[in-house]
Amino acid sequence: MTGLPSGIKADRSLETRNAFAVDRDTAGSIVPQAVLYPSRFEDVRKIVAWANETATPLVPVSSTGERRRGDTVPMVEAAVMVDLSGMRRLINADTRDKIAIIEPGVDFGSIDELLRPHGLRAFRPLMPRSGKSVIASYLDREPIVNADVHWDPADPFGGTLIVTGGGEITLNGSAALEGSLTEQLDRGHRHLVTYGPGNVDLTRVLQGAQGTLGIMGWAAIYCERLPQVEESIFVASSNLATVVAAMRDAVHQRICTTAFVVDNIHLAMLLGLNVDQANTLPAWTFFATHAGYVHSPEQKVAWQRAALEVIAKKHGADLCHELGGKSADDLAVTLRDPVPANYRDVEFGAHKELFFLHPLSTAKEIIAAQQKHLSSSDLHNCPVGTYIQPLAQGTFLHVERVMPHAAGDDVDAEWTSLAQISLDAGAYYSRPHGVFRQLAFSRDDGSARRMIAAAKTMLDPNNIMNPNRFDAQEAR
């Protein structure tokens, strides 16, 4: 074992290292050799430089609590974990520009408190656990529920600082300016632009890379102003096509700050009900929130609600203020309420997940194909929830199937089979995790592998960042 870089907190205890050898759904067998705790991006750079000199694999991790999906579990021997969870500073926040700059250890459990004095709050995915790193979530292109401002998969990132696997510090987007970050902020720059500069967009490259290309030192993130008025509502139907159509219209008209569709099982999970109670819920529900921030907020929310009523009527969906004994406004609060546990595990202790992208226009067909398979498989009696999140302002969907189950249940084979069926039906696994980590590349015409190899060559030429996470991705 080589010596660790000096001046950076490290932990080599077996207990700590063992904790990183596995995660909730990954039975890893490789124990990292140490865990390093940088406190500033300069430390990260030092670690990466050291790793390049010593050919030490690094696996970055930012979130705390129960990790999943295997992307923070070493896949090679002698790896060192780079635990960024201690980098928890809110560096800047600006109400006027609705943007903040945060470090990777800032998590969903703390961010809204940090932002509150600035009149802001974070865009967040569907009920993230409190220990989930905001930057890690955005880096993994985890969908935010705010389809309205999700213009592009790079959202909600603004400018960023990245330490590449090769040890270079890059300022990205409109953060690429002279001077220290403090000097930049003093001049009035707010790093509002994510793409570029020049001919490359390294923030985008790093997104979805699962720690294989570099480490983000800080990031500007778009935020939502704290609303003065906020109203939520359920738009329900027995028919999936109906609620998807209503959601599409609402998102296209940009009248909802939050918009997603769930089936009764997934809604039950969100509402804290048990699976049996799901039967009392509508088969499909589109959850919508309207918000008024600054200008005549009541009036704004009123016309948006009226517009939603027109949409619901047009598609034959029902508007409900309350479902399962809980109001839509209560659910809106719950969605922002950080809890350590994953809501999907609450009832049975464990869950399987399957998520992919799909065109909005054919959502019904792929769900039908999955349901057909499920009904004829060993899972036919198991509850499988559905969560549909419009992305890029309703250009396409994140579709997520979740099966809560008891911790000891062996459902891997059946779940893998569902993943395969989904792939055949057109699921695009843009974020290769879990049982679809390999499947994600099975339809690739060679392009994705080649581009990943290119990115690896340019950003991580010595293959030190989370090696073996993707097939055929090594630098050449």
The answer to the question of residue 447 lying near another protein (CB under 8 A) is: yes
Looking at the Cβ atoms of 19 and 193, the one nearer to another protein is 193
For position 290 contacting another protein by CB under 8 A, the verdict is no
Spatial distance between the Cα atoms of 65 and 136, rounded to a whole number of angstroms:
14
Least distance in angstroms from the C-beta of 218 to another protein: 14
Ramachandran quadrant class, 274 (left: phi over 0; alpha: psi -120 to 50; beta: rest): beta
60 is a site residue for another protein (CB under 8 A): no
Under rule CB under 8 A, which residues in 233-262 are in contact with another protein?
248, 252-254
Determine which residue in the list 197, 226, 320, 339 makes contact with another protein, applying CB under 8 A. Answer: 197
3-class DSSP state of 388 = strand
Q: What is the closest distance, in whole angstroms, from the C-beta atom of residue 467 to another protein in the complex?
A: 14
**Between 129 and 433, whose beta carbon lies closer to another protein?**
433
- Asked if 209 is part of the footprint of another protein (rule: CB under 8 A), the reply reads yes
In the chain, how long is the greatest CA-to-CA distance?
Answer: 67
Q: Locate 232 and state its tokens.
A: 């939520």
What pairing do the DSSP bridges indicate for beta strands 58-61 and 80-83? parallel
Decide if 205 contacts 459 (C-beta within 8 A). Answer: yes
Which of 105, 394, 382, 439 minimizes the C-alpha distance to 254? Answer: 394
Prior bond of 297 cis (ω within 30°): no
Closer of 20 and 441 to another protein (Cβ) = 441
395 binds another protein (CB under 8 A): yes
Q: Does 294 bind another protein (CB under 8 A)?
A: yes
Using the contact rule CB under 8 A, the part of the chain among 85-93, 110-118, 269-277, 390-398 near another protein is 390-398
Give residues 120-159 in contact with another protein (rule: CB under 8 A).
Answer: 141, 149, 151-154
Three-class SS state of 100: strand
For position 472 contacting another protein by CB under 8 A, the verdict is no
Cα 470 from Cα 93, distance rounded (Å): 36
CB of 292 to another protein, least distance (A): 7
Site string for another protein, 402-441 (x = CB under 8 A): ------------------------xxxxxxx-------xx
Min dist CB 363 to another protein, Å, is: 10
Closer to another protein at the Cβ: 269 or 301? 301
Question: Residue 450, interface with another protein (CB under 8 A)?
Answer: yes
Question: In the range 153-192, which residues lie near another protein by CB under 8 A?
Answer: 153-154, 168-178, 187-190, 192
Residue-wise burial string across 324-355, b where 16 or more C-beta atoms lie within 10 A, e elsewhere = bebbbeebbeebeebeeebbbbebbebbbbbb
Instruction: Give the C-alpha separation, 85 to 468, whole Å.
Output: 23
